Amino acid sequence: MRRFLVVGCGGSGGATLSFMMDQLRSELHAAGIDKLLPGWQFVHIDVPSAAESGPEGLANVPAQGGSYIGCGPQGSSYSILDGALSQRLVAENSLDTIATWAPRNPQEVTNPISAGAGQYRAIGRMITLSKASEIHARLQSAWDALFRVETISAMASADVPGMGRFDPNEPPLVLVVSSMAGGAGASMALDICRLLTLVTGLDPKLMGVFMVTPDIFESLPESARIGVRANALAMLGEIVASQSGAAREHDVRLLRALGQQHGEGEPIPFARVFPVGRYIGADRTQFGDGSQYAVYRGLARGLAALMMSGRASDQFVSYDLGNTASPEGDRDLLGWGIATWDVLPWGTYGFSSLSMGRDRYAEYAAQRLARSAVDKLLFGHMQPGNPASSTEQLDSLLSSQWTAHCTELRLPASVSDEQTRVGILGNWIGAGAFPPEAVNATVNGLIDRQLRGYLPNPQGMNAEQWTPIFRQALHNRRGELARACAEAAYAMAYAWHNEFADRLERMVGVAVANLGLPYARELVDKLRRYIDDALAPGIAQLGSMGPPDIVAVPPQVDAALRSLHGVMTNADQVLGTALDGFRASVRRQLFADAAARIADIMRVMGPELLAPLRESLGEAMILLEKARADPPSDVGLARLSTDQYSAWPADADELVPPRFAEANNEVLLISSAAFKARYETDLPKAVAGANAMIPLRGAIDEAAASVILGLWRTSGGYSAPGGLITRTATWVTRALGTDPETGRARVPSMAQFDVHTRTHELLRRARLYVERPGEAFEEFCKVSLRDFVAGVGASESELANRRRDIATKFAEALSLARPLASVNDQALQRVHPGKQVEYRYKFSDVPFLGQPVAEALAEVLRANPRIDQASRDNYDRSLSDEDNVTRVDIFGSYPNYSPLAFDSVLKPAAQQWSQIAGPGRKGFWRWRRSRPLSASLPMTDDERRVMTAGWFLGQLLGRIQIPASPYAEPVRIFDGETSTWVDFPNPLLTPPSDFLAPYDWLPAVLESILLAIAQSHEPPVMRSLRPYSVLRALYDSHTQDPASGIVELSAAGLLRDFLQSGSTAPGVTSRVGPVAAAETADERHEAAQTWLATIRDVAAQYLPAGAPGAAPEGAFTTVGTRSKAAKTPIFRDLGPDVYWATDTLIKLLDRESAALAAGVSSAGAAALVDDGSPVVIPEGGTF
């Protein structure tokens, strides 16, 4: 088990994280863990100041326990943000870092940046950079949370099948999820990776970057995907520049200017990039319905499975992130001169699972039961086949049940007419409203406390003397006894009203569960009318029927007193007889006072208690009726769990809904077609026991009532949740102003109720019902894969079929686990000569160790020639004998291939570029690039410098043609191998109309290599890259890497031929006038040297101040204002390369000229060209 920091960039990243977190919470819930583990930190970064809603009804990242960082400013415009960021860069002499890619005129940016970047990567990156410090701090905080003591403890105590044991010494993994094609996410992802490398303790070699490709947006309307393909094209260049290390200098310098620094920075800010598209495998099988959310869900499900499997996590580190001997690629096409090939290829990610499928059956059962509960709630009062109307049936049913309900409430069911009302209610007050034993105790207490101690003791007194004293003492206690009766009656009424509210809640809950919401609402209405019209007035009459005088001597006592004579010796008997005679009066007064209080309560009970309850029942009914009427949405195959009533399976359905069959990347061992019959067998057993006989209809009614109430039979430590009706506000009646126990005043408040019958609440309780330990559903659903193949629950004849079925389903799951990225087979063979498409698989625990089926599955792997040996080794290592595994997760990938092999990245951009008319192409590239060319061209520093040298050498030799105005023709280069002219892309991404200097041709041509890459899959494959190969070969034709050792530079030979003859190919003459006019070798040497020196001097005007060769006070050596930045030609990005190239060519020209003059055929090898440095292409220089 590993710790993870998962960072989502932009909308695609946030949506994927929401799906991931939801999946993980579901997986953990099944293991008895009710929230995400603290060792999994989720951070969503986007432009809006507050997190947007989650996808397809899911909660967003912060609502599920993650955190959110909003980069966009609230209320301000882009120009204000640009100005503030520019001032910070000016203060650090770093404004040039944004000069050639940020919007030239900030005022032209009109889209509201508080909501997003408007699909413009340049704008998105500026927004991100403005919050670089906050983002870094928040990422550091999330990282630190992974190392807290409580995190380590929680991870160590988590016990989840298949996750393995937690080792706190294992470093966390980092997953970054973004889009290649968006505005915000695609612009910030690389900066986020760079900021993550500044997090203390984080190892970028354990960071994987998952980027969805532009093809996932193909299902959207054209208006919704403007810019996504161009964004992906720009992102491609910047990713490769980061992988080659060419982007480090710019990234580090810019972030250092913003206060974020850590030495020279990591050469490469991540371990591996994983493109994720809408097609599976080399045969381009569409994933699910091909929508962006289907891809987000599929990727999220795979990443969640990776996190849930310790074994898969370890394999991910070893085989996907690590350098795993990727098949060698042709670096002449991409990556020429890269120090280590393994850092350049991209990884891929596919996922599927082979499972029992019984978890899907459990969800089917829960949804079907929840639907039955909804039907019962809305129509429980209706009898099938009864022709009477709903209202008539309701009235009839209520009449038949009324007496039972009143009995539950301990109310009289009827008070008859006026003549008998008082008698009936009197009997109720006297015998039904209060427990007799409690009343007796109260009466005895009142007599003992209020009379006994205050009456004269007759012992030894003369009766004639004692009797008047006794009568006077009684008279003296009249007020206190009446007050005490009133207080006791108040307490009795107070207790009665609390008990009544509780009984009402229980009675209504049972009515809702058994007969439905309309019935319960009508019951509350009838109860209110009955209380208002009959009970309250009648009981009020009882309140005035107390004794006229509570201390009046009762006749029997009076007679006894008169019979007393002489000295009394039986004092206790006399006093007891006298006091016993007052019990009836005290009881009568107590009941009268209590009746008066209850009458007061009943007068206000309607508005205070019953009306809110009725309103809550009515609201619950409205919500269910609306849910029942709503059409289903988002219930495709990938979306199993839903709280939409109309999507739930019904008892009347003949077929199981197809979405229960399988997810887009899941293979089940149980057919969903069997769910219906299985449910109808299991439900009666779940209700009445395994051996009981009960009709299905009766079982449905009873189970639905249990789910509605949340109450059912349980065993062990498991308890039913209850909670159908809850009071959200306590009833404090104005009829009882004080608390009799504390004497404190009470502030009146109406009762408020919540009736928990919303669809998601019913579904939650239905799931709990299905999951009851030891019951029919749970016993079936808990069977593991190992149990299944070992024959648990199967006859011997069925066992062979089970094992055969597992092998077939395993092959199917392998097919679905092919990576979510399509490759072009022809391109692959061109880039990786001699290679065919192969698939590599990794597995979570495969619980078949020691079982015959293990060999059958191994044979499936061996039988497919496209599956590599590493997959078979991974399978062997994944075999285990775990008993409780119900699912095997399969992670698929290709061997790590060159980015040029992936048509899901390249094809969309090429298609759009070819379809756009001339005027529209300017908008295609506007504000898409978000770094200077040194950090955004898909090449190494060496290759960029060599191409720069080739550019000027080609012009000297006449092998490069630059068109004249109006620049409709392409830039061309002469291919010496075929003696033909080949065209660079036309038009260029940055056309001449956007040049700020007449010598912006070179940066514009090099920038357009991205177009050539996008078009590289068009036949003949990779032909579009030919002009750039020829350009590089003019200076250094060495294959794969720069010439070194004793290998001669191609430039030396070309210059030698040029000096000797003035031409290097038939019909090809220099485009530099003075050079073309020169007639001798010396004249050509001098003219060429002069021309190169002139260009070198121009380049010196662009070198950063302090750089060797920089012109003092050069026009663009420093960029100190935003207006100057806006006027900086893109040539500045290549200033250091141009200076190096022209200076190197001058030295090479001088050496070859001197060699010719001395009669030497060659000036020497490549190692001698660069003033003694070990290779021709020198280190350093900013692109």
Secondary structure of 428-466 in HEC code, one letter for each residue: HHHHHCCCHHHHHHHHHHHHHHHCHHHCCCCCCCEHHHH
Summary mean pLDDT of the chain:
89
- Whether the Cβ atoms of residue 368 and residue 648 lie closer than 8 Å to each other: yes
Out of 247-251, 374-378, 467-471, 738-742, least confident range: 467-471
Which pLDDT tens digit goes with each residue over 1015-1062?
999 999 999 999 999 999 999 999 999 999 989 999 999 999 999 988
Domain 4-319 CATH (choose: 3.40.50.1440, 3.30.310.50, 3.90.1300.10, 3.40.50.300) = 3.40.50.1440
Tell me which DSSP letter residue 70 carries: E
Which pLDDT tens digit goes with each residue over 540-578?
999 888 899 888 888 888 888 888 888 877 767 877 887
pLDDT at 459: 81
Whether residue 30 is predicted with pLDDT greater than 80 in this model: the reply is no
- Distances, alpha carbon 2 to alpha carbons 13, 306, 321, 1092, in Å: 21, 10, 15, 58
Helix (H, G, I), strand (E, B) or coil at 795: coil
pLDDT at 1092: 96
* Confidence class for position 784, pLDDT limits 50, 70, 90: confident
pLDDT at 333: 96
pLDDT at 1171: 39
Q: What are the beta bridge partners of residue 889? A: 353
Distance CA 1034, CA 1041 (A): 14
**Token pair listed for 191:** 């900066």
Which pLDDT tens digit goes with each residue over 397-449?
999 999 999 999 999 999 877 778 888 998 998 888 898 898 999 999 998 88
* Confidence class for position 392, pLDDT limits 50, 70, 90: very high
User: Scanning the structure block, which residue is given the tokens 């504390």?
Assistant: 742
pLDDT at 662: 66
* Confidence class for position 637, pLDDT limits 50, 70, 90: very low
Q: Is the peptide bond before 1042 cis (omega within 30 degrees of 0)?
A: no
Which amino acid belongs to residue 1178? P
- Distances, alpha carbon 336 to alpha carbons 344, 457, 953, 1029, 1173, in Å: 11, 120, 19, 10, 20
Which pLDDT tens digit goes with each residue over 477-530?
888 989 999 999 999 999 999 999 999 999 999 999 999 999 999 999 999 999
Contacts of 775 (CB under 8 A, 6+ apart): 685, 686
| 80 φ/ψ angles, rounded to the nearest 5 degrees | -70, -45
| pLDDT, mean of residues 780-807 | 82
pLDDT at 716: 65
Distance CA 64, CA 56 (A): 14
* Confidence class for position 635, pLDDT limits 50, 70, 90: very low
- On the CB side of 307, how many CA atoms lie within 13 Å of its CA? 30
Neighbour count for residue 618 (Cβ, 10 Å): 16
Question: Which of 466, 457, 450, 444 minimizes the C-alpha distance to 573?
Answer: 457
- Whether the Cβ atoms of residue 1180 and residue 932 lie closer than 8 Å to each other: no
Distance CA 490, CA 488 (A): 5
Q: Which helix (H) or strand (E) holds 76?
A: none
| pLDDT, mean of residues 181-208 | 92
- Whether the Cβ atoms of residue 331 and residue 1042 lie closer than 8 Å to each other: no
DSSP assignment of 927-968 equals TT--S-GGGTSSS-HHHHHHHHHHHHHHHHHT-EE-PPTT--
Distance CA 28, CA 14 (A): 21
Whether residue 338 is predicted with pLDDT greater than 90 in this model: the reply is yes
| 273 φ/ψ angles, rounded to the nearest 5 degrees | -105, 140
Q: Is the peptide bond before 987 cis (omega within 30 degrees of 0)?
A: yes
Distance CA 434, CA 796 (A): 67
User: Scanning the structure block, which residue is given the tokens 């990225």?
Assistant: 821
Question: Which of 767, 890, 883 minimizes the C-alpha distance to 840?
Answer: 890
Nearest 5°: CA angle at 452, between 447 and 456?
145
What is the residue extent of each domain of the chain?
A: 4-319, 358-377+632-785, 394-617, 795-820+823-901, 939-1168
* Confidence class for position 657, pLDDT limits 50, 70, 90: confident
pLDDT at 1170: 37
**Token pair listed for 107:** 């005022």
- Whether the Cβ atoms of residue 127 and residue 115 lie closer than 8 Å to each other: no
**Token pair listed for 764:** 């939650």
* Confidence class for position 1167, pLDDT limits 50, 70, 90: very low
Name, of 243-257, 303-317, 629-643, the range with top average pLDDT: 243-257
Which pLDDT tens digit goes with each residue over 5-29?
999 999 999 999 999 998 898 888 7
pTM of the model: 0.76
Tell me which DSSP letter residue 361 carries: H
Whether residue 792 is predicted with pLDDT greater than 80 in this model: the reply is no
- Whether the Cβ atoms of residue 872 and residue 861 lie closer than 8 Å to each other: yes
